[in-house]
Amino acid sequence: MLKFLADENFDNTIVRGLFRLSPEIDIVRVQDLGLSGKDDPTILDWAA
């Protein structure tokens, strides 16, 4: 299964719509991880 990490600049209405269409989809938002405002290398390190 693919896992997705949504950047804080990604439109949350799209994330909510994806959950409505496929509740089993695995999307984690940067905001939910406490990584808001962190630089891209930090977020990519977490994702790896």
CA-to-CA distance for 4 and 2, rounded, in angstroms? 7
Burial of 30 (0-12, 13-18, 19+ CB in 10 A): buried
CA distances from 4 to 28, 44 (A): 6, 12
Classify strands 3-6 and 26-29 as parallel, antiparallel or unpaired.
parallel
Q: What is the pLDDT of residue 35?
A: 94
38 pLDDT higher than 90 = yes
pTM of the model: 0.73
Domain, as residue range, for 9: 3-47
26 pLDDT higher than 80 = yes
23-33: average pLDDT: 92
Q: Which 3 state secondary structure label does DSSP give 26? A: strand
Number of domains composing the chain: 1
